[in-house]
Structures are given as C-alpha cells and as structure tokens.
Chain A
Amino acid sequence: MWAEVTRHLYEFESAVLSGLDEEGYPFSVRCRPYPDTSGTEVLKIWLPPGTPVRPGPASLLCHSHDENLWNLRSFLARGILVKDAGEWSFEPGRFIPGVGIGGLPAVIRFFISSRRRASRYLKERNLARPSIPWEEINAAKRAFSYQQPAKKQELTADRYSPLD
C-alpha cells in the first residue's frame, strides 16, 4: 500500500487533503505531501497556520485531467492526520485507485463491477432495470455537442473512463 501511494503521488503536482473541522464538516486544502525522510511510512504535510482541520480521520486525493476533461487519473488514500509538535503528517491506511490507474485490467474490472453495483442498487429496492431513453439522449447530443476545431480525441479502452 505504501509503495503504491508514494509511486503514484509523484505523478501529480499536488494533492487535496481532507480532514474534519471543529463542527464536523469536511475541510479540504491543496498541499504537497512528501515522504518522511526518517523511513517511517508517513507523509509530511505543510499546512498554513490556522488551517481548521483537526487530527483524526482524513484522506488524500490526487487527480488530474486534460483540457478536454479527458485522460482522467486519480487515486485516494484513506488514513489518519496527525499533529505532533506543531507539524502535520498523514499516515495512509488504504490505497484506493481511481480512474486511469491500473491500465486495461482495471478498466475492465471497473465496467464489470459498475454493472454489478447498479444491478444490486436496483435489486435492493425491488426495482426493474429502467430502460434508457436513447433517442432523447442522442437528440441532446446532437443539440449540445461541441465541435472540436482541433484534433479528434481518441476513444481507447484505457481512456474510457467516466468521471463519476
């Protein structure tokens, strides 16, 4: 898990740290975590003074996209935010790959598991699988699709990754 976090962390310019404030709301801030040089599996984080997050459960998100909101990449690390002698650190506990991480096998797993999760959502509510109004959707595409003046985007398997 630690190896995955550090390997992918370097692929992003910065990360979003999310902790909890005093009222129990999530509070997020951009930061640049870096591995602790002492060899412990901890990321050091510089936070501006007064940042209203409290030590405890936290997560670290790295994500990116291009100018056409494509080539999406992301991962999340769940863990614990620690404050010791005025210094902040994040102890990752779980690595959760997002889109664009893991290559083609991950894409295939994503599509299969998504279909299963949708089926489970419907089954738990005793709902039939709804039919999708494709004609209506295609009409909206024709009405709203923006014509790219520059190069055509390729739709390859590893890029076929909806944001959510």
Chain B
Amino acid sequence: MPRSSRVVAGLPPEVEDVFEEFRTCELSTLARDGTPITWPTLPFWRSGEKRFMITTSIALAQKAFNVRRNPRVSLLFSDPTASGLDTPPAVLVQGDAEAPDEIETSVAGFAEELRKVYRWQPASSAYGNNPLTRRFMDWYFMRLSIHVTPRRILWWPGGDFWREPFELDMDYVG
C-alpha cells in the first residue's frame, strides 16, 4: 500500500473520465520469470460490467500468454495526450485478468469499442482497405480479448505522483 492512502467510497467522475477518454494506458503483465512487462494499449472501460476489456491480435499474444499463466496485472493511466481532459489524475488499476483462448474475427458486439477506435485513431480505418493489406494484415483482425477486474484503484490528483494518492473502497466497484 502506498503511504497513507485516502480511501474514497465511490468512483469519482474525474477518474471515470480518465477511463473513458484516455487514448492509452500502460498494461503490465508478468513474464515467466516474474518481470512486469508493460505495453501501451487501448483500454475499454465497461462500466456496466465494472471491468476493462483489452483486445490484442493473436500475432501479439504475449500479454495473453502471460495472463493465462499469472492473472495479476495493472493498468496505469498516465498519458493524457488527446484526451481533452484538463489536468486529469493519473490512475493505477491493479487487478486480475482473464484471457480466454477464443479468437474473434467478427466485430459484432464491439460497436462501442469500434466507435472509439475510429474516432480516436482515424488512420486505423485504412487497415484492410485494399487487397494488399487484407492479405498481409489479416492477422490484425484475429483478436483475443483480455478482461481485467479491478481489485485496487489508486489515483493521484493532477497526475502528480509526489502527492498522496486516493484509493477507492473496492466495495463500491462490485
């Protein structure tokens, strides 16, 4: 536990804004030797499920392999670039992840996520637009889902890690 964290009952709007608007977070999974390996990734907060969804191609599946071996992960939201938020907090989510060995190719059921991806990253809509990229990038559309259930959420006002963090009382996350 960090210093004397201040425990808060309920997820404050500024933290949920970070979950909804940050373009990337830093996902850490544990390698076989226990080293935390961190990737920048697109997180999707599913507030109704109270968990995050991250997808990755089967060609870049190391994070899924790590989760299947050890479910302990963290998500750090510390880069507000393009979020439109003014001095947002930095947020750390520690949790337990699942990465089922199920390959998704259909985009059905991912409408909200696609809406975000094409709005946030307009150039990504070019993937698969022509026969060449369809031939050489089909792997990008073979996706695995990783679900992260939070067990601890800490945040630092203004993104200042030298300030005392707040902590969410997890009874309010469900």
CB within 8 Å of B: which residues of A?
16, 18-21, 24-31, 48-52, 56-59, 61, 63-70, 72, 74, 76, 78, 98, 111, 113-115, 117-118, 121-122, 125, 127, 129-134, 136-138, 140-141, 144-146, 148, 153, 155, 159, 162-164
Contact = CB atoms under 8 A, between A and B. Distances in A.
B34 interface: yes
Contacts, number: 208
Nearest to A130: B105
B128 A132 contact: yes
Contacts of B31: 57, 78
Nearest to A146: B119
B140 A78 contact: no
Nearest to A48: B162
A137 B74 contact: no
Interface of B is mostly: mixed
B114 A140 contact: yes
B74 A30 contact: no
Contacts of A69: 23-24, 82, 120-121, 124
Nearest to B95: A25
Interface string B105-126: 1111001001101111111111
B94 A146 contact: no
Interface residues of B, number: 72
A118 B57 contact: yes
B124 to A, nearest CB: 7
Contacts of A155: 123, 126
A70 B121 contact: yes
Contacts of B111: 140, 144
B39 A61 contact: yes
B120 A28 contact: no
B118 A57 contact: no
B88 to A, nearest CB: 13
Given A30-B90, A76-B37, A121-B58, A50 B108 contact: no
A117 B141 CA distance: 14
B162 A16 contact: no
B18 to A, nearest CB: 14
